[in-house]
Amino acid sequence: MEKIWQVLPKITEDFKNKYPEYSRLVLQLLFNRGIIEKEAMEEYLSFDYEKYSHDPFLFNDMEAAVNLIIKHIKEGNNIVVYGDYDADGVTACAVMVETLETLKAKVDIYIPDRVAEGNGFNLKALEVIVYSGAKLIITVDTGIRSAKEAAEARKNNIDIIITDHHQPPKKKEEYPDCIIVNPAIPEEKYPYKKLAGVGVAFKLAKALVDKSRLSLEDKKNIENKILDLVAIGTVADCVSLLGENRILVKKGLDILNKTKRAGLKELIKIACIENKRLKSWNIGFQIAPRLNAAGRMGHANTAYELLVTRREKEAKVLAGKLNEKNIERQKLTEEIIIEVEKQINKEQIPKIIISTCQASFDEDAEEWNEGIIGLVAGRISSKYYRPVLVITNSGDEYKGSGRSIKEFNLIKAVEASAEYLLKYGGHPGACGFSLKKENLNKFIKKISEITEKELKDLDLRPKIDIEAVFDLSKINEELINEIENFSPFGEGNERPVFASHNITVMDIYWMGMEKQHVKFRVKSDNSTVLSAIGFSQAEKWKDIIIGDKIDMLYYLELNNYNGKTEAQLKIIDIKIKVDMK
């Protein structure tokens, strides 16, 4: 699908002159991110963790949560940490359990099975926890919509603390009646609202440690030890990487690059990224998918055990299992995408793409793995630039997962269709839900009507925001280092996309075992020759020949090879100039 290139508005001369200490490029990138005040600029560029990481006791209920946990630790009661099965939830479990164990608490974890139990706090799990004799449950990355389960816990004389970051119910009377630590609650005073589940768990862990009688040095060591997990969970959950999240991830990446965790060391090794400076990209595309594969293809306990194990042999075995699960996950994802593609009317793509597993209607068809349908929805959404729902069988009901585009608030539409759903949750860009089979057509009709109305007059072609337009002659190592100061990149703080026009293709190389990658050597009238590489893009640009004039969108990076460092363009999109002669 053709993409719309749109150059973001240039900064004014007044804005440039107001901050002469910064280069035009730095100011342009700050402006593009809505960072236009001096204090916000200093926070963004300083990475001052001590200064800009907020006091956890700013949370409304933090003091009460800490006091309750300390009470149970002192009484020697069993505490259960209850988490979600994705990378955010698993890292949050590890953060909470490790901290409680350091403080001599008696603690267990409970992570639900994705297929048998679904996400969120559930009554079946509560039965197990009651039987275990636990006296306190601490949820991480889940629970804000679990009022019924929280009430049942109290009936069984179990205290409960909800830590979560998902959107709460609309009505306050539908909140769980217990201590809640969640920055997304409208009444919450904590100044940063976009923490991941692991970020909220970290704040509770830090508050516990801060209130302990440990030395300042020990407190700092405990805090630093778990920040690598905070970085992984935050990036994996695709929350905003502006504000406090960015500071947490930056600090966590520094620790991750020196990690002593046996499991992470083996996972990094098996992902073939050892001896490299790990960045947020490595978390998002290499570490997190392997952790998530546990919950998608089996049970998330495998990922949790990898994070907390101290035994090298066990770490190696667990990393191998996760890698195998991830390979299996990739294969199944591609198979399901092929099936979903068959259901899409390419001649008239609807405003929302809804695909249902054919096993729902054909006994001979294979069911889709419900742990993968969210990934499939994301891939289809990215390709066709539409909100997408993928729905599969799950026993006596259907389960669905959705991904959206920035113009459409998916969870709002799902909430408006809630009369047909058994359970739902999510964010504007992603959702999960379940429903009775007899309600499928009614649900599809309702959410399709909502989507058609809201997206009626919009041009639904993917748009690429261009942060600046360069002549290739301006590109050098100093400029790329300026850009790298804006990392870690991720949601809300995307890696900057640049454009260059009317450049000449000087040479072409096909690379990879199957010649699936392409590298162009390109130059402008005033520049030296630069390399531009397109991974898995050889087929896409097969018609380009030496001598062609092209416009190109790209990321900028430094390529280190054989002791030599040079600027390199990473291709995003190309438009071939038409010769009108």
205 and 77 in one domain?
yes
**CA nearest neighbour of 69 among 196, 246, 205:** 205
Q: What pLDDT does 361 receive?
A: 62
Q: Per the structure, how many domains does the chain have?
A: 4
Q: What pLDDT does 363 receive?
A: 62
148 and 234 in one domain?
yes
The CATH number of the domain holding residue 366 is 3.10.310.30
Q: Which amino acid is at 377?
A: A
Q: What pLDDT does 581 receive?
A: 46
123 occurs within a structural domain: yes
Q: How confident is the model at residue 578 (pLDDT cuts 50, 70, 90)?
A: low
468 occurs within a structural domain: yes
479 occurs within a structural domain: yes
432 and 545 in one domain?
no
560 and 529 in one domain?
yes
197 and 86 in one domain?
yes
Residue 409 gets the label, from left (phi > 0), alpha (psi -120 to 50) or beta, of: beta
**Which among 454, 485, 505 is the end of a domain?**
454
The CATH number of the domain holding residue 555 is 2.40.50.460
383 and 328 in one domain?
no
Q: What pLDDT does 365 receive?
A: 64
**Which among 343, 378, 413 is the end of a domain?**
343
The string of pLDDT tens digits covering residues 434-484 is: 999 999 999 999 999 999 999 998 999 888 999 999 999 999 999 999 999
Query: Coil, strand or helix: which one is 53?
Result: coil
The CATH number of the domain holding residue 116 is 3.90.1640.30
Question: What value does the mean pLDDT of the chain take?
Answer: 94
420 and 448 in one domain?
yes
40 occurs within a structural domain: no
How many Å apart are CA 552 and CA 501, to the nearest integer?
Answer: 7
- According to DSSP H, which parts of 141-188 are helical? 147-155
**Which among 234, 250, 266 is the end of a domain?**
250
Q: What pLDDT does 367 receive?
A: 85
25 occurs within a structural domain: no
329 and 352 in one domain?
no
Q: Do 408 and 384 contact (CB within 8 A), yes or no? A: no
392 and 357 in one domain?
yes
For residue 87, give its domain range.
52-250
Q: What pLDDT does 360 receive?
A: 62
Query: Coil, strand or helix: which one is 115?
Result: coil
For residue 106, pLDDT over 90 is answered with yes
For residue 272, pLDDT over 50 is answered with yes
Burial 161-175 (b: 16+ CB within 10 A, else e): bbbbbbbbeeeeeeb
414 and 285 in one domain?
no
33 occurs within a structural domain: no
The string of pLDDT tens digits covering residues 383-428 is: 999 999 999 988 889 999 999 998 999 999 999 999 999 988 877 8
Across residues 16-33, what is the average pLDDT? 96
Q: What pLDDT does 55 receive?
A: 97
How many Å apart are CA 296 and CA 501, to the nearest integer?
Answer: 43
Q: How confident is the model at residue 579 (pLDDT cuts 50, 70, 90)?
A: low
The string of pLDDT tens digits covering residues 537-570 is: 999 999 999 999 999 999 999 988 777 889 999 9
Across residues 519-537, what is the average pLDDT? 94
266 and 311 in one domain?
yes
The string of pLDDT tens digits covering residues 201-242 is: 999 999 999 999 999 999 999 999 999 999 999 999 989 999
How many Å apart are CA 296 and CA 306, to the nearest integer?
Answer: 16
What percentage of the chain exceeds 70 in pLDDT?
98
318 occurs within a structural domain: yes
176 and 77 in one domain?
yes
39 occurs within a structural domain: no
Give kind and range of the element (H or E) at residue 161: strand 159-163
Q: What pLDDT does 428 receive?
A: 85
